[in-house]
Amino acid sequence: MNNANVATGLDYANGRIPYLFGKIFFPTLLGLIFNALITVIDGIFVGQGVGPDGIAAVNIIAPLYMVVTGIGLMFGIGSSVVSGIAMSQGENRRASVNMTQAMMMSGLLVASLSLLLVFFPESAARLLGSSDRLLSHTLNYLVWLVPGIFFLLFESIGMMVIRLDGSPKYAMLCNIIPAIINIFLDWYFVFPLGMGVKGAAIATSASILVGAVMVMIYFLRFSYVIRFCWELHGFLANTWHQIRVGSSAFVTEIAMSVMMFTGNSVFMRYFGEEGVAAYSIACYLFPLIFMMSTAVAQSSQPIISFNYGAGNTGRVRAAFRVSFLTALICGIITTVSIGLGARGIVAMFINPACEAGVLASRGLPVFALCTVFFSVNMAVIGFCQSVEQAAKALVLTLLRGVIYLVPLFFLVPVLIPGWGVWAAIPCSEILTSVTIGVAIVISRYRGKKPYRPHGNHAADI
């Protein structure tokens, strides 16, 4: 038995695949859902305390939050995959160096972005699509969110590597504790102190800081194998490899930003600020949908990456089958839940009888159709990332989030007036699933051989 494997506390090489997946999945799912609740709670308190203009303003800034999360996930997945392969080969120091260099490079990138936001906040707000009516709320949220987005990337990277290190429950706590803090601070700042969107932003930043500190403490005191290892040798080569492996995760977040930005523009065009407020509720739900699908992909990733590095083809396929089935079941449950509970969901944010509330109540059941297909698509993309198939993962991410989605946002409302604007996202996910199905059939028809780790053959789903 590989000693590096035993040191993590999870036997990736020999343990039963469903057992390993379950040990990682349930704490990961719970932790990521609590993490997504940070955004959802923001929306609920701002919607109830400020009104539709408040949640519309927060949604204007949301694409920026997605970009920073994308940088964190890109380096998190990239360093986790590379480190998992290194650990399978007994190179624990290389795993630690990769994690540390990922945090260094991502920190430099986000620090540069944060400085631009500090010096040019109004330009950034208008670039993101804020109208004059929403500008004051938008600026209040943006300025106080900047400190939080810097620390967000450390939390995002840490979550991935801590799970690989064999501590999924600690990773869960790094999500749950900040989320609970955020809920309390949101309520306190928005209602008793009456600080509006500014208070929601301060609460979010404070909770993110807590999560980042917990991540740092883990690698300094509690880790099994992966620790901070400050080494500049191979810095550019290592971080570039991480970017290449994790690039589809970054593009996924960028695609979510494009979804929000394009959707804000289209809803503003058809329904004005009330339309943006209605669409904002769907955008608040999407992080929950995204985190559920991400939990599936992240739970299979260390199992797949480790066995990919060790050349255990059968275990790689078994882990993918478990993740695909789990994604399908979770997607169906979420689609049905949102569809049946649309009006109740709207009521948590705003009055369902107001214009924005009526629009959202009618649109959410249509929007909910995207969930099952999104979950399946993310399971496949996660598999491609885990076996270093960066190009495939990137293409699929671009298809579902940009290439299919943007034209559909403008085409579907013309073909189906009224509720058709809500159907663009489901149509994009459905087309991506069809594309994946066709690609698998073609691949098997051509008789592709199974992958060979670090060789020239592509992995075959």
d(CA 135, CA 273): 12
pLDDT recorded at residue 322? 93
Confidence of residue 100 (pLDDT cuts 50, 70, 90): confident
**Stronger pLDDT, 178 or 88, i.e. the higher one:** 178
Confidence of residue 5 (pLDDT cuts 50, 70, 90): very low
Burial class (CB in 10 A: 0-12, 13-18, 19+), 221: exposed
d(CA 459, CA 461): 6
pLDDT recorded at residue 217? 92
Confidence of residue 447 (pLDDT cuts 50, 70, 90): low
Two tokens at 73?
């996930």
Two tokens at 328?
């399908």
Judged against a pLDDT cut of 50, whether residue 458 lies above it is answered with: no
- Mean pLDDT of the residues in the chain: 83
Give the SS3 label for residue 367.
helix
Confidence of residue 459 (pLDDT cuts 50, 70, 90): very low
Contact 197, 57 (CB under 8 A): yes
Confidence of residue 448 (pLDDT cuts 50, 70, 90): low
Amino acid at 207: S
**Stronger pLDDT, 459 or 157, i.e. the higher one:** 157
Who contacts 250 (Cβ-Cβ below 8 Å, separation ≥6)?
A: 70, 71, 73, 74, 243
* Region 160-164 average pLDDT: 82
Contact 81, 388 (CB under 8 A): yes
Least Cα distance to 276 among 205, 402, 370, 363 occurs for 363
Judged against a pLDDT cut of 80, whether residue 126 lies above it is answered with: yes
Count of H helices and E strands in the chain? 16, 0
Residue listed under structure tokens 């098997």:
444
Dihedral sign for Cα atoms in the order 127, 133, 137, 143: positive
Total Cβ atoms within 10 A of residue 230: 9
Q: What is the DSSP string of 127-157?
A: HTT--TTTHHHHHHHHHHHHHHHHHHHHHHH
Who contacts 449 (Cβ-Cβ below 8 Å, separation ≥6)?
A: 457, 460
Dihedral sign for Cα atoms in the order 334, 336, 337, 338: positive
Q: pLDDT of 247-261, one tens digit each?
A: 777 877 777 777 878
Q: pLDDT of 262-280, one tens digit each?
A: 888 888 888 888 888 888 8
Would the pTM of this model clear 0.75, i.e. be above it?
Answer: no
d(CA 367, CA 282): 7
Tell me the HSE value of 408 on the side-chain side, using a 13 A CA sphere: 21
**Stronger pLDDT, 164 or 412, i.e. the higher one:** 412
Contact 48, 58 (CB under 8 A): no
Least Cα distance to 145 among 210, 205, 186, 68 occurs for 205
Residue listed under structure tokens 């490079």:
105
pLDDT recorded at residue 8? 53
Least Cα distance to 456 among 139, 151, 367, 448 occurs for 448
User: Which of the residue ranges 6-10, 23-27, 102-106 would you say has the lowest mean pLDDT?
Assistant: 6-10
Alpha-carbon distances, residue 168 vs 9, 67, 162, 408 (angstroms): 10, 25, 7, 38
Two tokens at 269?
């065009």
Contact 304, 383 (CB under 8 A): yes
Judged against a pLDDT cut of 80, whether residue 66 lies above it is answered with: no
Judged against a pLDDT cut of 90, whether residue 373 lies above it is answered with: yes
Who contacts 352 (Cβ-Cβ below 8 Å, separation ≥6)?
A: 343, 346, 358, 360, 361
Two tokens at 415?
């073909």
Q: What is the 8-class DSSP label of residue 10?
A: S
Q: If you count them, how many residues does the chain have?
A: 461
Two tokens at 411?
């085409």
pLDDT recorded at residue 225? 82
Two tokens at 213?
């500190």
Judged against a pLDDT cut of 80, whether residue 449 lies above it is answered with: no
Least Cα distance to 315 among 324, 307, 323, 305 occurs for 307
Q: What is the DSSP string of 171-208?
A: HHHHHHHHHHHHHHHHHHHHTTS--HHHHHHHHHHHHH
Radius of gyration over alpha carbons of the chain, in Å?
21
Two tokens at 147?
């400190």
| First-last CA distance in the chain | 27
